[in-house]
């Protein structure tokens, strides 16, 4: 017996429940490299279809950039495929340390420690830096991996209302007697593309003697005038104590993450972080390709500038077309539809029109806040964006939602 009938039945019923609630997520098989133009097999077994990808985290269009791919090939030849070790035994190549140095210089911090993912970085950082005498106060909408990381540490956990600085201040006052206070936030929140007010957060942290941790996964490489991240965008480079971020989004999109910040804090993570000590080192090809990514984005702001222009253009055109989009400046553009079924139907119809986007609904966003999350990329040319806008208009007309606000869409389709 593999496992008992009771467990099997339970899992099967859970899956039926997920399907009945319209919440079942299906994978779509991409048969090409990642990019603006991709080919997709969906549903499984269907003929491959050419579509424009509008939902990747490929912000800078580096995922399949020829120079990055070449650096991976060269790295494979020069450094081999695997390291078969964790970092501290025999898993550190010179390239790993070089990448840590380049990330440090780019992010404007003191030191950096690589992880297999940002999820791992977040799983590491709280446990090492905080103990039972401390408190971590997090924005209520931080990424799941920040929440999971906090759960692994012994500090008291509390939260403040999303980007509500008055509430954060109250919490900092309330925990004045703790040994350390750490404020944790995403730099950019992935569902709305809204930007944490890091200038105000740093002010409060100074006033109440707190540390600031920013998960900048949706910002590293393109937010701010030279792409350093949300801290640059908000004018607080050097004032954020610890940044966690990923190479799995703008920075090439393969994998890998890091903790970057105050020297002794990072060094302590190198000594004690469990995902660092007990999980395999980042693969050499990922490291050598990431080094090339750092060179590309350090030499010129061309790609982040193009991303900024693409974002502005798409936001303006979609607003003019009558879509209900969350305002902002980030390449994450939430097209609000509120109803989960509507979000899925619109996404499916857009796919038929050759535009690959995904409906987001509970539990990824709160119930009644379903949406299509478009993500712009520097890989998009104006023709891509114009095609996407035209398709959105056509489908928006079909469902009669152009020009409608939240209340009217909900009146028409329900939550
Ligand atoms: C994507 C993301 C992560 C996870 O990064 P990985 O490197 O893929 O594990 C963590 N935090 C935030 C805010 C993210 O957006």
261 lines ligand 1 (CB under 6 A): no
- Every domain of the chain with CATH number 3.40.640.10 lies at 66-299
**186 with 142: CB under 8 angstroms?**
yes
Q: pLDDT value at position 363?
A: 84
Compute, in angstroms, the gap from residue 370 CA to the centroid of ligand 1. Answer: 21
Atom of ligand 1 nearest to the CA of 246: 7
∠ Cα 403 409 414 (to 5°): 170
Instruction: Please tell me which residue in 65, 171, 218, 306 is annotated as part of the active site.
Output: 218
- Does residue 111 carry a pLDDT above 80? yes
Question: Residue 21: which pLDDT band, with cuts at 50, 70 and 90?
Answer: confident
Q: What is the mean pLDDT of residues 167-172?
A: 98
Q: pLDDT value at position 403?
A: 97
Q: pLDDT value at position 46?
A: 92
Using CB atoms within 10 A of its CB, is residue 3 exposed (0-12), middle (13-18) or buried (19+)? exposed
- Helix ranges (DSSP H) in 80-116: 94-107
Is 190 annotated as catalytic?
yes
Q: What is the mean pLDDT of residues 220-237?
A: 98
257 lines ligand 1 (CB under 6 A): yes
**199 with 167: CB under 8 angstroms?**
no
Compute, in angstroms, the gap from residue 411 CA to the centroid of ligand 1. Answer: 35
Q: pLDDT value at position 1?
A: 59
What is the full DSSP assignment across 232-285? HHTT-TTT-SEEEEESSSSS-SSS-EEEEE-HHHHHHHHHH-HHHHSSPPPPHH
Considering just the CA atoms, what is the radius of gyration of the chain in Å?
22
Alpha-carbon span 332 to 320, nearest angstrom = 18
335 pairs with which residues across the strands? 325, 372
Tell me the pLDDT tens digit for each residue of 181-220: 999 999 999 999 999 999 999 999 999 999 999 999 999 9
Which protein residue has the closest C-alpha to ligand 1 atom 5? 118
Q: What is the mean pLDDT of residues 323-346?
A: 96
- Report CA torsion sign: 364, 370, 376, 379: positive
Atom of ligand 1 nearest to the CA of 186: 13
153 lines ligand 1 (CB under 6 A): no
Is 218 annotated as catalytic?
yes
215 lines ligand 1 (CB under 6 A): yes
- Every domain of the chain with CATH number 3.90.1150.10 lies at 28-57+302-413
Q: What is the mean pLDDT of residues 77-95?
A: 98
Which protein residue has the closest C-alpha to ligand 1 atom 1? 217
Atom of ligand 1 nearest to the CA of 249: 1
Alpha-carbon span 116 to 290, nearest angstrom = 13
Q: 66-299 maps to which CATH number?
A: 3.40.640.10
Starting at the edge strand found earlier in the chain, the sheet holding 370-375 runs: 332-338, 370-375, 359-360
Question: Residue 415: which pLDDT band, with cuts at 50, 70 and 90?
Answer: confident
Q: pLDDT value at position 341?
A: 92
Using CB atoms within 10 A of its CB, is residue 5 exposed (0-12), middle (13-18) or buried (19+)? exposed
Alpha-carbon span 312 to 305, nearest angstrom = 11
185 lines ligand 1 (CB under 6 A): no
Nearest to 242 by CA among 175, 184, 159: 184
Q: What is the mean pLDDT of residues 336-349?
A: 95
Tell me the average pLDDT of the chain.
97
118 lines ligand 1 (CB under 6 A): yes
Question: Residue 50: which pLDDT band, with cuts at 50, 70 and 90?
Answer: very high
Nearest to 260 by CA among 298, 231, 287, 289: 231
E strand or H helix at 157? strand 156-160
Between 3.40.140.10, 3.40.50.970, 3.10.310.70, 3.90.1150.10, what CATH number should domain 28-57+302-413 receive?
A: 3.90.1150.10
Atom of ligand 1 nearest to the CA of 143: 13
Q: pLDDT value at position 380?
A: 98
Q: What is the mean pLDDT of residues 14-29?
A: 88
Q: What is the mean pLDDT of residues 306-326?
A: 97
Tell me the pLDDT tens digit for each residue of 141-155: 999 999 999 999 999
- Does residue 23 carry a pLDDT above 80? no
217 lines ligand 1 (CB under 6 A): yes
């Amino acid at each position: 017996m593999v496992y008992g009938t009771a467990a099997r039945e339970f899992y099967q019923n859970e899956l039926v429940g997920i399907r009945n609630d319209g919440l079942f997520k299906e994978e779509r098989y991409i048969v090409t490299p990642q990019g603006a133009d991709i080919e997709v097999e969906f549903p499984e077994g269907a003929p491959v279809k050419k579509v424009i990808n509008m939902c990747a985290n490929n912000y800078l269009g580096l995922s399949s950039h020829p120079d990055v791919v070449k650096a991976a090939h060269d790295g494979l030849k020069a450094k081999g495929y695997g390291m078969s070790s964790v970092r501290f035994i025999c898993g550190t190549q010179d390239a790993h340390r070089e990448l840590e140095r380049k990330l440090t210089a780019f992010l404007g911090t003191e030191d950096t420690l690589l992880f297999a993912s940002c999820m791992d970085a977040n799983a590491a950082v709280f446990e090492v830096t905080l103990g039972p005498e401390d408190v971590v106060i997090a924005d209520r909408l931080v990424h799941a991996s920040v929440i999971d990381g906090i759960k692994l540490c012994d500090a008291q956990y509390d939260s403040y209302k999303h980007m509500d600085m008055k509430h954060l201040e109250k919490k900092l006052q309330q925990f004045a007697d703790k040994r350390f206070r750490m404020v944790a936030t995403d730099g950019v929140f992935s569902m709305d593309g809204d930007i944490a007010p890091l200038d105000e957060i740093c002010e409060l942290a100074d006033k109440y003697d707190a540390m600031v941790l920013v998960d900048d996964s949706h910002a590293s490489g393109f937010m701010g005038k030279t792409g350093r991240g949300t801290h640059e965008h908000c004018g607080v480079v050097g004032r954020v104590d610890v940044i966690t971020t990923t190479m799995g989004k703008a920075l090439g999109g393969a994998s890998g993450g890091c903790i970057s910040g105050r020297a002794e804090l990072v060094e302590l993570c190198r000594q004690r972080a469990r995902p660092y000590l007990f999980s395999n080192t980042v693969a050499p090809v990922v490291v050598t390709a990431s080094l090339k990514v750092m060179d590309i984005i350090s030499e010129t702001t061309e790609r982040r500038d193009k991303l900024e222009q693409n974002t502005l253009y798409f936001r303006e055109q979609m607003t003019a077309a009558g879509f209900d989009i969350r305002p902002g400046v980030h390449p994450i553009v939430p097209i609000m539809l509120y109803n989960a079924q509507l979000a899925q139907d619109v996404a499916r119809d857009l796919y038929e029109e050759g535009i690959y986007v995904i409906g987001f609904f509970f539990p990824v966003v709160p119930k009644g806040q379903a949406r299509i999350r478009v993500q712009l990329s520097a890989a998009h040319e104006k023709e891509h964006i114009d095609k996407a806008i035209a398709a959105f208009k056509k489908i928006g007309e079909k469902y009669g939602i152009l020009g409608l606000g939240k209340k009217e869409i909900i009146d028409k389709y329900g939550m």
